[in-house]
Amino acid sequence: SFKCLVEEVTATSRHYVDRLFDPDPQNVLQGVIDMKNAVIGNNRQKANLIVLGAVPRLLYLLQQSSSSLELRTECAVVLGSLAMGTENNIKSLVDCHIIPALLQGLLCSDLIFIEACLRCLRTVFISPVTPVQLLYTDPTVIPHLMSLLSRSQHTQEYITQIFAHCCKTPEHQTVLFNHGAIQNIAPLLISPSFKVRMQALKCFSVLAYENAQVSMTLVNVLVDGEQLSQVFVRMMQRDKPIEMQLTAAKCLTYMCRAGAIRTDDNCIVLKTLPCLVRMCSKERLLEERVEGAETLAYLMEPDIELQRIASVTDHLVSMLADYFKYPKTSVLDHDLKHAHELRQAAFKLYASLGSNDEDIRKKITETENMMDRIVSGLSESSIKVRLAAVRCLHSLSRSVQQLRTSFHDHAVWKPLMKLLQNAPDEVLVMASSTLCNLLLEFSPSKEPILESGVIELLCSLTQSDSPALRVNGIWALMNMAFQADQKVKVEIVRALGTEQLFRLLSDPDTNVLMKTLGLLRNLLSTRPHIDQVMSSHGKQIMQAVTLILEGEHSIEVKEQTLCILANIADGNTAKELIMTNDDMLQKIKYYMGHSNVKLQLAATFCISNLIWNEEDGSQERQDKLRDMGFVDILHKLTQASDPNLCDRAKTAMQQYLA
Amino acid sequence: MYQVLKEVGLDLERANQIAGFHTNNKQKIGVPFAAVFLINFLDVCYQEKELNQRLKRLYPAVNEQETPLPRSWSPKDKFSYIGLSQNNLRVHYKGHGKTPKDAASVRATHPIPAACGVYYFEVKIISKGRDGYMGIGLSAQGVNMNRLPGWDKHSYGYHGDDGHSFCSSGTGQPYGPTFTTGDVIGCCVNLINNTCFYTKNGHSLGIAFTDLPPNLYPTVGLQTPGEVVDANFGQHPFVFDIEDYMREWRTKIQAQIDRFPIGEREGEWQAMIQKMVASYLVHHSYCATAEAFAKSTDQAVHEELASIKNRQKIQKLVLSGRMGEAIETTQQLYPSLLERNQDLLFMLKVRQFIEMVNGTDSEVRCLGGRSPKSQDSYPGSPRLFNSPVHKASSSQTYQTEQNNAEVEMELDHFSNGVSESSSNGFLNGSSTHGIDLEECDGDMVDSAQSKRQLCGGSQAAIERMIQFGRELQSMSEHLRRERGKNSANKKMLKDAFSLLAYSDPWSSPVGYQLDSIQREPVCSTLNSAILETHNLPKQPPLALSVGQAAQCLSLMARTGSGSCAFASVDDYLH
C-alpha cells in the first residue's frame, strides 16, 4: 500500500507540472498558485516536483518577459518554497542555475517581485551546500544589491543576510567594503525591524573579522550621531536578545583585535569582556557557550590585563569546567558533536587565559581534574579537540612550576609523544612547541622523553616544509643538547647528520638559523665534547662559521656565531683550528673593533680563551696574537665605556702579564 | 541662600536642618571659613539631590514611608572602634588592632527593602591601613559588631586580605581576588533569588552567597589601624553597571509574567477578559461602546440600556459640578436610594455646597444670571473614561496581621495607590476650573476673572449658598441625633465650611476641594450605590483586579518577594 501511496503522490505531482505547460497563461498562473499551496511544508511533494522537472519550467516562466508580473512573482515564491526543503533540493536548484536567473530578476523594477527573488536567493545562499563564490561571479551583482538596500525592510533583511553568510574570505570582505557595505549597512543598525538590525549586525561581524581596513573604518562611523562602538555597546545590554548581545560582542572583539579599539578601552574592558563571560554561563545554549568561549579566547589572547580580569570575572575558570560535563558518550551524533565543540572551546579559552600569567595557570591546573582532562583530550577522536587540548597544554607548559609538578605527575609527555607520531601540521606545531618546553633542563619529564627515542622524530621535523615545525624541531634538539651527556650529543649529531645541520645553517628562516646555532653552541660545551665534535666535524663547522660571519645577518646571529667560536677556542685541540686559520683571526679582530658592544664582547671572549695561560702552548698563541696586533686592541678595549667589555679585556691582558 | 537651595532642589525643611546644625555650633565663623562651609554645604546639597534621584530611579517600587533605603552608616549601630565622618559615609578604624578580637563593624541605617528587587552599594578602599583586614558584606540586625562581617550567623562578608568569602562562619571559602587601597568593591543583593555577588573595580566576581535571609543591612568591618573605607549608597555613579544587571532581571520577570502558563484554558481566558471589558464599559455607562463591544463579542449585557443611560446622565451632572440637578435626578430615577442612604445624601449635599462656592452648581448659576444648561446639552466629557480610576486618597486599605494570614480588603477604596500616577495627565491642566471652561458658553470664557469670585460673584447666589449651608448644618445635626456621631461626616462639613474663611478660597489650604478632580470620588460612590440597588457589583471586575494586583505587589514587598520590583501594574496599564 505504501508503493501505491507513492504512486498517487507522484501522479498528483505530475499533474501540477503538466499544468505549467498549459497554453492558457491564466491556467498556468492558477497552476503555479495551486502548486505553491501544495508544497508548503511538504518535503516529499517538493522532492517529487523537482524530480519531475518543475524547476527549469518555473525558471523559464520567471525569466520570460512575456509572463505577467504576477506569474513571475508566484514562480519565485514557489522556488523559494522548494529551497526551504532538504539540502538535496538546494543542490538541484543550484544545478538548474537558479542563482543567475534570480539575480537577473532583481533588475526588474517591481518591488514585490524583487522581494520574492531575494527571499529565494537568501534561502539558497544560507545553505551550506551552495558555493558562496556564486555571489561574486558577476561583478555587477554586489553594487546592485547595495542599491536595493534602500527599497524596503524585506530587501534589507534578505540582502544583509546574504552578505552575512557569503562573506567568508578577505577577498569577499574587500569586495563588499569597496562597494560601500559599511555606509549602506550602518543605518540599518537602528532599523525598526529586529530582523534587519540583527542581520546588519551579523554583516559587521563578518566584515570586521581580522580586517584592519574595515575595523579602522568602523570606529569612525556615526549612526544617527552616535559612534558605532556605542551602538554595539547598547546592543550588548543585558535585556537584549542573547543572539544580539553575542554578535555585538563579536563585532567589538574583531575591531579590537584588528587594532581599531584599544584593549583598555572601557567598551572592551567593562562591556565586551563581561558580556562574553556571561555567554559562557550554564544558562546559555550550547552553541552560545561555544561561540562565547571562542570569541573571548580570541579577544584576550594578546593582552595579559584582559586575561587577568577574565580570570576573576564570574568564576570563569570553574564555569569552564562545566563544559566537560556534557555527556561524552551518546548514541546521538549531534550530542557528540556538541560535546566536542564544548570541550574544544573550553580548552581554547583555558589556553588563552593561561598564556601569560603564572597565577592564572596555577588556578587552571588546580581546577577539578584539569590535567586528566587535558591528557584525555590529547587522544580524543575529534581533531579539533586534540588541537585545542594541546594548545591548552602548551600555554600551561610555559610555567616552570607546572612543568616541575603537575606535568610530571600526570606524565603528559606520553600522550604528547603519541600525538606527535601521526598528526596534521597544525597539531604538530603545537605539540612540538610544547615538547620544547618539556625538554627544558629543569623539567623532570626531560629524562623519560629522551629515553623514549624522540630524537629521530625531532630530526624529521627539521626537514619539514613548515618553518614553524623546523624551528620547533631544532629548538627541541637545542634544549635537549643543553648540558647533555656525550652520548646524547653524539646521538643528536648522528641522527641529524652534518648535511642537514649545515642545511639548517643556511635556512631562510632566521629563527631556524638562531636555534641551529644554539644547538651547535650546546653541542660545543665542556672541553672533551668540544674536542670530540671538532675532531670529527671541525672542517665543516669552521666553514659554516666563516660563511655566517661573512654573510648578511643580524647582530643576534653573528653574536651567536662568535659565541660558538669562543666555545671552540675553549677546546684543547679544537683551538688549533682557529689558531691556524689567519683569516678567522682577522675576522675576530674585526669584530673586536665593531661598533656593537655585544659582538665586541663575544670576539674578546674568543681571544681570551685562546690566550689562556694554564693551557699547553699558550705562550706560542700569545706571541702569535701579539704579533697580529691583538694586544693593542685589548689595551684599547680596557678603556671601553661598557664595564663588561672593559673587565673582559682587562682579564685577557692579565694573561700576558702573568 | 534659599534661592540657591531652590535651584539645588532641596526641600526647605532639610535645608533648615542643615543650617540649624550650623548655627548651633556657636562658633564665630570667619569669611574664608564661611565660604568653604558654603561650598561644602552646597556639595552636600547636590550630593543629596543626586542620591535621591538615583535611588528613585534604581528602586522605583520601594515605598520609603514604609521601608526607608540605606543612605549612610548608622552612628548608633556600630562597635566603638569604628569612627564615622563625612556625613557618616567614611568609616575608619580606631582600635588597637592587635587580634581578631579587635575587629569592629558598622551597619547601615536601614535594612535592604525587598521591593528593591536588586540592591547594590559600593565601598572604596581609601587606605588598607596596617594589614588590610577589611570585610564588606551584609548582616542582620543584632549580629555582634565586635566582629568582621561573615563570621557569625546571619552575617556575610568578602575579605580583602585573602579574597575569601565568609558565609556565617569563621572559616572562609576561596572566592575572589584580594583587594586593597584604591579598589572599589561592590556588593549586590538579588532579592528575587536571594543571592549575593560582589564586584571589584566594576567587574562582577560571581555569586558569593545563596539562600540569604531577608532584612539584611549593608555592613563593613575593619580590624587594623589606618584602615579607611568610603561607602557609596547612590551618592555617586557606581563603577559597576548595576542598571544593566537590573535590566536583565526586569526582562526575566516580565517574560515570566508574559509566559505564565494558562494551559488548556485559553478559551476561558478570552471569554473572561471580554466579560471584564464589557462590565467595565457598562459600569461607567459608556452605552454605545458597551453595546458595540457586547455585540461583536457575542455577550449579553446584564443591565437595561435605559438604566445605563440614566446613570450616565447622573454622572455627567456630578462631573460638571451640577450637584443640585444630580441629586434631583437621582431622586427622580431612584426614589428610595438617597432616602435609605442618608450618609450618601449628606456627602452629595456637601459637594453641592462646595460647587455653590465654586459657582458651578445650577442653583447659584441661575441666580448669577446665567441659565443652567439643559441636560441634553452637556457634552460628553472625554475624561469620563479616565475618571473612575481616580479616587480620593483614603485611609489604609489593607491590613495584615502577623499571626493571621487573613487579608481584609476594603473594596470601596481598592484603587488607592493606583490612582496617583494615572491621574497625572489630568492634573496637568493647572486651572482648577478646567471642566467649566470647556463647558461654558462663550461669555464665561471671556470673563475668566469672574470665575475667581465666590459663587460666581452674585450676591443672591451668596445668600443662597449661606442658606444652603444652614440647611446642611441642620441636616448634620439631625443625622447625629438619629445615627450617632460620624467623624467622617463631621470632617467633611468642617472642611467645606472652612472655604468661607478665606477671601480667596481657591488658593487657600482647603482650596483643593474646589478642584474638579474632587468630583470623581463623589461620582464613583454615587454610581456604585445605584448599581448596588440593582444587585450589580459596586466596582467593575476590571478595576477590582487592577487594584488587587497592586495590593498583591505591596504585599509581596512586605513579605520579602523581590520580584515585585519589576512588575509594576502601571507598566501593564499603558
Percent of chain A topping pLDDT 90: 47
Strand stretches in B237-364, DSSP E? none
Neighbours of A407 (CB within 10 A): 26
Residue type, B469: G
pLDDT-derived band at B384 (thresholds 50, 70, 90) equals: very low
Is the pLDDT reported for residue A107 higher than 70? Answer: yes
Interface of A with B (CB under 8 A): 237-239, 270, 274, 309, 312-315, 319
Question: Highest mean pLDDT: which of A83-97, A530-544, A568-582, B412-426?
Answer: A83-97
CA of A313 to nearest chain B CA: how many angstroms apart? 5
pLDDT-derived band at B574 (thresholds 50, 70, 90) equals: low
B164 touches chain A (CB under 8 A): no
Strand stretches in B109-159, DSSP E? 118-128, 135-139, 155-159
Neighbours of B303 (CB within 10 A): 17
pLDDT value at residue B105? 97
Least confident of A28-42, A119-133, B447-461: B447-461
* More confident of the two residues A378 and A349: A349
* pLDDT, mean of residues A208-214: 96
Instruction: Determine which helix (DSSP H) or strand (DSSP E) holds B78, and give its type and residue range.
Output: strand B73-78
pLDDT value at residue B2? 40
pLDDT value at residue A6? 55
pLDDT value at residue B385? 37
Q: Do A315 and B207 touch (CB under 8 A)?
A: yes
d(C-alpha B217, C-alpha A51), whole Å: 74
Among B197, B210, B244, B256, which would you mutate to test the A interface (most chain A Cβ atoms within 10 Å of its Cβ)?
B244
Gap between the terminal Cα atoms of chain B? 42
pLDDT-derived band at B32 (thresholds 50, 70, 90) equals: low
Strand stretches in B391-519, DSSP E? 398-400, 407-409
pLDDT value at residue B538? 81
* C-alpha to C-alpha distances, B5 to A610, B235, B423, nearest whole angstrom: 90, 18, 29
d(C-alpha B391, C-alpha B313), whole Å: 20
* More confident of the two residues A400 and A599: A599
Q: Do B207 and A309 touch (CB under 8 A)?
A: no
| Whether the Cβ atoms of residue A312 and residue B177 lie closer than 8 Å to each other | yes
Least confident of A360-364, B409-413, B453-457: B409-413
B100 touches chain A (CB under 8 A): no
Q: Do A313 and B244 touch (CB under 8 A)?
A: no
d(C-alpha B248, C-alpha B254), whole Å: 10
B162 touches chain A (CB under 8 A): no
pLDDT value at residue B31? 59
Least confident of A137-141, A334-338, B267-271, B443-447: B443-447
DSSP 8-state assignment for residue B93: E
* More confident of the two residues B444 and B205: B205
Q: Which residues in chain A have Cβ-Cβ distances shorter than 8 Å to B176?
A: 312
Is the pLDDT reported for residue B76 higher than 50? Answer: yes
d(C-alpha B309, C-alpha B134), whole Å: 72
Specify the long-range contacts of residues A69-74, CB closer than 8 Å, at least 24 apart: A69/A108, A69/A110, A69/A112, A69/A113, A70/A29, A71/A25, A71/A28, A71/A29, A71/A32, A72/A105, A72/A108, A72/A113, A73/A110, A73/A112, A73/A113, A73/A116, A74/A29, A74/A32, A74/A33, A74/A36
CA atoms within 13 A on the CB side of B108: 26
* pLDDT, mean of residues A223-228: 94
Least confident of A339-348, A380-389, A406-415, B36-45: B36-45
Q: Which of B176, B205, B248 sits opposite A238 (nearest CB)?
A: B248
pLDDT value at residue B33? 67
Is the pLDDT reported for residue B531 higher than 50? Answer: yes
Residue of A nearest to B251 (CA): A239
* More confident of the two residues A253 and B289: A253
pLDDT value at residue A433? 85
pLDDT-derived band at B270 (thresholds 50, 70, 90) equals: confident
pLDDT value at residue A306? 97
d(C-alpha A380, C-alpha A403), whole Å: 23
pLDDT value at residue A445? 80
pLDDT value at residue B426? 35
d(C-alpha B458, C-alpha B441), whole Å: 18
Instruction: Determine which helix (DSSP H) or strand (DSSP E) holds B85, and give its type and residue range.
Output: strand B82-85
Q: Which residues in chain A have Cβ-Cβ distances shorter than 8 Å to B247?
A: 237-239
| Whether the Cβ atoms of residue B126 and residue B137 lie closer than 8 Å to each other | no
Q: Do B251 and A238 touch (CB under 8 A)?
A: yes
Q: Show Cβ contacts of residue B345 under 8 Å, excluding neighbours closer than 6 positions.
A: B327, B338, B339
* pLDDT, mean of residues A229-258: 97
pLDDT value at residue A567? 87
Is the pLDDT reported for residue B6 higher than 60? Answer: no
pLDDT value at residue A451? 80
DSSP 8-state assignment for residue B29: -
| Whether the Cβ atoms of residue A297 and residue A354 lie closer than 8 Å to each other | no
B571 touches chain A (CB under 8 A): no
* pLDDT tens digits along B400-436: 334 433 333 434 333 333 333 333 333 333 333 333 3
CA of B233 to nearest chain A CA: how many angstroms apart? 21
Is the pLDDT reported for residue B437 higher than 60? Answer: no
Percent of chain B topping pLDDT 90: 47
Sign of the dihedral defined by the CA atoms of residues A197, A203, A208, A210, in that order:
positive
Least confident of A404-418, B122-136, B167-181: A404-418
In degrees rounded to 5, what are phi and psi of residue B413? -115, 30
pLDDT value at residue B235? 94
Is the pLDDT reported for residue B369 higher than 50? Answer: no
Among B158, B178, B203, B249, which would you mutate to test the A interface (most chain A Cβ atoms within 10 Å of its Cβ)?
B203
| Whether the Cβ atoms of residue A105 and residue A114 lie closer than 8 Å to each other | yes
d(C-alpha A332, C-alpha A323), whole Å: 18
pLDDT value at residue B368? 58
pLDDT-derived band at A350 (thresholds 50, 70, 90) equals: very high
d(C-alpha B360, C-alpha B365), whole Å: 6
* C-alpha to C-alpha distances, A204 to A54, A126, A218, B268, B419, nearest whole angstrom: 38, 17, 9, 47, 48
Is the pLDDT reported for residue A31 higher than 80? Answer: yes
Q: Which residues in chain B have Cβ-Cβ distances shorter than 8 Å to A270?
A: 202-203, 241
CA of B187 to nearest chain A CA: how many angstroms apart? 14
Q: Which residues in chain B have Cβ-Cβ distances shorter than 8 Å to A312?
A: 176-177, 200, 203, 205
pLDDT value at residue A575? 80
d(C-alpha A443, C-alpha A430), whole Å: 18
* pLDDT, mean of residues B424-453: 39
* Alpha helices per DSSP H over A40-190: 43-51, 54-63, 69-83, 87-95, 98-105, 111-125, 141-148, 153-166, 170-178, 181-185
Question: Average per-residue pLDDT in chain A?
Answer: 89
In degrees rounded to 5, what are phi and psi of residue B210? -125, 170
* pLDDT, mean of residues A452-464: 85
Q: In the structure grid, which three cell numbers stand for residue B322, read together? A: 451640577
Q: Show Cβ contacts of residue B574 under 8 Å, excluding neighbours closer than 6 positions.
A: none
* pLDDT tens digits along A474-532: 998 888 888 888 888 888 888 888 888 888 888 888 888 899 989 888 888 887 788 88
pLDDT value at residue B359? 85
Q: Which of A347, A442, A443 is nearest to A386 (CA)?
A: A347
Q: Which residues in chain A have Cβ-Cβ distances shorter than 8 Å to B202?
A: 270
| Whether the Cβ atoms of residue B70 and residue B109 lie closer than 8 Å to each other | yes
Q: Do B203 and A313 touch (CB under 8 A)?
A: yes
* pLDDT tens digits along A283-330: 999 999 999 999 999 999 999 999 999 999 999 999 999 998 877 666
pLDDT-derived band at A403 (thresholds 50, 70, 90) equals: confident
* pLDDT, mean of residues B349-369: 82
pLDDT value at residue A553? 86
Q: Do A312 and B200 touch (CB under 8 A)?
A: yes
pLDDT value at residue A328? 63
pLDDT value at residue A655? 79
Is the pLDDT reported for residue B381 higher than 90? Answer: no
Question: Highest mean pLDDT: which of A469-478, A614-623, B230-239, B355-364?
Answer: B230-239
Question: Average per-residue pLDDT in chain B?
Answer: 80
CA of A32 to nearest chain B CA: how many angstroms apart? 38
Q: In the structure grid, which three cell numbers stand for residue A30, read together? A: 492558477
Percent of chain A topping pLDDT 70: 98
Least confident of A8-12, A96-100, B15-19: B15-19
